[in-house]
Structure 1
Amino acid sequence: MTEAASSPDAPTPAAPQPVPAVPHRGLSLTVLIVNQLLAGVGVASGIAVAALLVDELTGVVAFAGFAQSSSVLGAALTAIPLAKLAVRRGRHVALATGYALGCLGALLVIAAAVSGFVPLVFLGLMAFGAGTAAGLQARFAATEVAAPGFEARSMSLVLWATTLGSVAGPLLSDLGDTVGQAIGLPALVGPFLFSGAAFAFSTLLVAALLRLPPAGHLAGDAAAGASRSSARIGSWQAMRIASRNPRALFAIFAIVCSHTVMVGVMVMTPVHMMAHGLSLSLVGVVISIHILGMYGASPLVGWLADRIGSERVIFIGIGILALATLIGILAPADDMLLVPLALGLLGLGWSCGLIGGSTLVTDAVDPSIRVPLQGATDASMNLAAAIAAALSGFVLGFGGFAGVCLVAMLVLLPLVVMGVRSARRRPA
């Protein structure tokens, strides 16, 4: 029995009830895979130029970090409502809602740039972040449609599917900018046209083809009545219960810290490179390598999590993130060998932390708090990353890119502490 289940605050699971099977597991997983490809284009096309667009509109480099922080804050604010919607109506409804908001956000950014009304850019990027939140929650949808015993691999497969779209997105930045300017849009706005179209297709695909029972009702859940308890438990109450479980706490820190480090460094890389005279095309190449690192090796990471355990995969991720930030400290901005290497490793370390942490957080807690805890964890990681993105612009201004990487390295320290504590508390 998990520690969460034995806590006096944990609810008593409802009596077992008949649960519906997942309709057409193969079709559902295929829809999630194709949808993640589209969502990858949607997120990456806009995010690749968001900081540059804000820098262009405001003329203040420190404000560039607020572009990413606005998007990540939007993801944080929508993570819990989307999780609640998944409990009540099903993951497909939650995902479609998130992608529709992402499409709306892309349209608001375009309108803001055309009108010159800068605050609307940040509002649009916050709505844009809902698409990111939906894409992240799709990894949990993958575990819900997976055959028993294949949850981690299904999660990693859906994340891997994001690779094609996410790598293509930044590479389309130049084309999007050209198309946008050809139809009269300001510079750097065109990529958001691709983002809006991709999110629109994602919304239609999920709404038309994906059908899942409310989260927690799925056959194969460890407790058939867990969904009734999930509906009664708030996300932050679930977080409080899980925090008493060292393994669950390590999993939460793995997700939050890995995402914070990745976002804090990644968002300032385009600004850093272009400030040293590198082109938008080269920026797109580096960001594409970074995203390839995030998603390309995810099937291997998922397989490792099944073979050697999620905790060990998280520690591997810590080492990779530390190496990435060290290279970032030492590499010149125009070094097109070391900078892509650092960003690729940054993505790979994030993949280990996210997959290892997500698998562990699902395994370490009672099913009665699983779904609300997933929402709270995603909200926490996005909120922390939003703060990191907002501050990274100021750190870049005062300490350069080396300062950004050094601060990111320090974020790994509490994760190491939680990992050691979890290993010591775990029974032999």
Structure 2
Amino acid sequence: MIPGGTIDPAQAQQRILRALVASQILSGAGLAAGVTVGALLAQDMLGGTSLAGLPSALFTAGSALAAVVVGRISQSRGRRPGLTAGYLTGALGSAGVITAAVLDLPALLFLSLFVYGAGTATNLQARYAGADLATPDHRARAVSRVLVATTLGGVAAPNLAAPMASLAERVGVPGLAGPFLLSGTAYALAALVLAVRLRPDPLLTARALAAADAGTVTVPTGDGEDPAGRRPPGVVLGALVMILTQLVMVAVMTMTPVHMHDHGHGTAAAGLVIALHIAAMYLPSPLTGRLADRWGRLRVAGASGVTLLAAGVLAAVAPGDSVALLALALILLGLGWNFGLISGTAIITDAVPLATRAKTQGLVDVSIAIAGTTGGLASGLVVAATGYPVLALAGGILSLAILPAIAVSATADRARDKRVA
């Protein structure tokens, strides 16, 4: 505590990050479990590949709605009730998926996958909570600490797909629905951790400190300069970076297990590839955050486009029977997404005032979720019509659109600085 009985932001930030890390480990398991088998479950229930991308589209569409709700709850009541409600909703969706599989009800499956998407949205919204009390030159690193915690659960869950399938079959649940037993439990536990341990509430604390210390530099307000001393890029650029990386990542990731299944690989092999992909999505976060804080958000955002292109090209040319090359392609895919998400999140947080931060962040995440929905839904149709290599290559090429957007933003910033000078 600091003199006068007010909250010490540094101490509060450490407590907040510990609670967020614990919840992210659990929610990472919940997120990865559904990603691993969602497309295969739909393919099994519908008997075809053309709609195999629909589960990903549905839970990313559900995450779009949840992003709005979680953002608005956080804006009015704080991060703790917003994130807790989101994870509980994800747990409810997991229970619905299991029920649909047992009763063989595709309509219920699709509805439940939509509800399950709340867990995905909440997992992403938690990164913003890590940055609420961070100073401008440490925001990307704070975001990265929250994201990297997802790695533990995210890597473990796909490798538990086969054991969870066996457990499910022993209790009368179809094997492909087994991982949703894990996801429901993990999301419920993540909600419990936040409800009990996310104290003080980061967003409400940041507001209180800003009101008490107006005119000082102790508390971030969301409108500081970037590490290089330049005016921060705008919300549009940050949103565009995250939208493109999400669209490409979801499209290629969704159809990779199906592509592997069609070439004779089992659930264990697909689970390993997805586990490595998720590890690459989150494990490099500390390094990415440091790079974004030290060398600038725009450079890291540009690296995301180049890395996603490499991932798409490799996935397109890799033989279907080569687990190693597909795994490498998915690792690059996850790394490119990581670059884009952390740099884009830092850009958004730099640009948005504290008073409207949670609401704006929620709306940005809606756009990200819609991009994921588009990628997931289109991926099955593209693969059915042209094949997996075309999907992967098209995604890689699309990701290069990040580069001209960065160039335009940088040019506009230089022109504005000259006018100000």
Is TM (by shorter chain) over 0.5? yes
Q: Which residue of 2 aligns with 1:305?
A: 292
User: How well do the aligned residues superpose, as a CA RMSD in angstroms?
Assistant: 2.1
* SS of aligned partner of 1:61: coil
2:39–2:254 contact (8 Å) kept in structure 1: yes
Map 1:112-261 → 2, pairs under 5 A: 112-146=100-134, 149-213=137-201, 215=203, 218=206, 247-261=234-248
Say if 2:40 is the partner of 1:52.
yes
Whole-Å separation in 1 of the counterparts to 2:370 and 2:100: 24
Q: Which residue of 1 aligns with 2:85?
A: 97
Code of the aligned partner of 1:404: L
Identity %: 39
1:88–1:214 contact (8 Å) kept in structure 2: no
Whole-Å separation in 1 of the counterparts to 2:102 and 2:276: 31
Match of 2:27 among 27, 39, 51: 39
Say if 2:382 is the partner of 1:395.
yes
Whole-Å separation in 2 of the counterparts to 1:87 and 1:225: 20
Q: Which residue of 2 aligns with 1:85?
A: 73
Say if 2:349 is the partner of 1:362.
yes
What displacement does 1:25 show? Answer: 3.0
Match of 2:304 among 317, 341, 357: 317
1:221–1:367 contact (8 Å) kept in structure 2: no
Code of the aligned partner of 1:153: R
Instruction: Give the alignment's TM-score, normalised by structure 1.
Output: 0.87
Relative to 1, partners in 2 of residues 1:28 and 1:247: Cα closer, same or farther, differing over 3 Å?
A: closer
Whole-Å separation in 2 of the counterparts to 1:422 and 1:123: 40
Relative to 1, partners in 2 of residues 1:394 and 1:223: Cα closer, same or farther, differing over 3 Å?
A: farther
Whole-Å separation in 1 of the counterparts to 2:354 and 2:40: 43
Structure 2 regions of 5+ residues with no counterpart? Answer: 215-231
Code of the aligned partner of 1:200: A
Q: Which residue of 2 aligns with 1:271?
A: 258
Relative to 1, partners in 2 of residues 1:136 and 1:224: Cα closer, same or farther, differing over 3 Å?
A: farther
Identify which range, 363-372 or 31-40, moves more after superposition.
363-372
1:140–1:155 contact (8 Å) kept in structure 2: yes
Structure 1 regions of 5+ residues with no counterpart? Answer: 1-17, 227-244
Match of 1:282 among 256, 269, 278: 269
What displacement does 1:205 show? Answer: 1.0
Whole-Å separation in 2 of the counterparts to 1:278 and 1:326: 21
Measured against aligned partners, the alpha-carbon deviations of 1:312-351 in whole angstroms (never above 9, x if no partner) come to: 0000111100100010111111112211010000000000
Whole-Å separation in 2 of the counterparts to 1:371 and 1:210: 16
1:223–1:368 contact (8 Å) kept in structure 2: no
What displacement does 1:393 show? Answer: 0.3
Q: Which residue of 1 aligns with 2:365?
A: 378
Whole-Å separation in 2 of the counterparts to 1:305 and 1:89: 30
Whole-Å separation in 1 of the counterparts to 2:212 and 2:65: 29
* SS of aligned partner of 1:63: coil
What displacement does 1:87 show? Answer: 1.0
Whole-Å separation in 2 of the counterparts to 1:220 and 1:340: 47
Whole-Å separation in 2 of the counterparts to 1:19 and 1:83: 26
* SS of aligned partner of 1:62: coil
Q: Which residue of 2 aligns with 1:30?
A: 18
What displacement does 1:416 show? Answer: 2.4
Whole-Å separation in 1 of the counterparts to 2:236 and 2:211: 22
Relative to 1, partners in 2 of residues 1:117 and 1:143: Cα closer, same or farther, differing over 3 Å?
A: same
Whole-Å separation in 1 of the counterparts to 2:233 and 2:78: 30
Match of 2:401 among 399, 414, 422: 414
Code of the aligned partner of 2:58: S
Relative to 1, partners in 2 of residues 1:268 and 1:247: Cα closer, same or farther, differing over 3 Å?
A: same
Q: Which residue of 2 aligns with 1:10?
A: none
Q: Which residue of 1 aligns with 2:229?
A: none
1:71–1:129 contact (8 Å) kept in structure 2: yes
What displacement does 1:257 show? Answer: 0.5
Q: Which residue of 2 aligns with 1:293?
A: 280
Identify which range, 357-366 or 322-331, moves more after superposition.
357-366
* SS of aligned partner of 1:190: helix
What displacement does 1:65 show? Answer: 0.3
Identify which range, 415-424 or 105-114, moves more after superposition.
415-424
Instruction: Give the alignment's TM-score, normalised by structure 2.
Output: 0.89
* SS of aligned partner of 1:267: helix
1:20–1:213 contact (8 Å) kept in structure 2: no
The total of aligned residue pairs comes to: 393
What displacement does 1:219 show? Answer: 5.6
1:19–1:218 contact (8 Å) kept in structure 2: no
Whole-Å separation in 1 of the counterparts to 2:37 and 2:332: 21
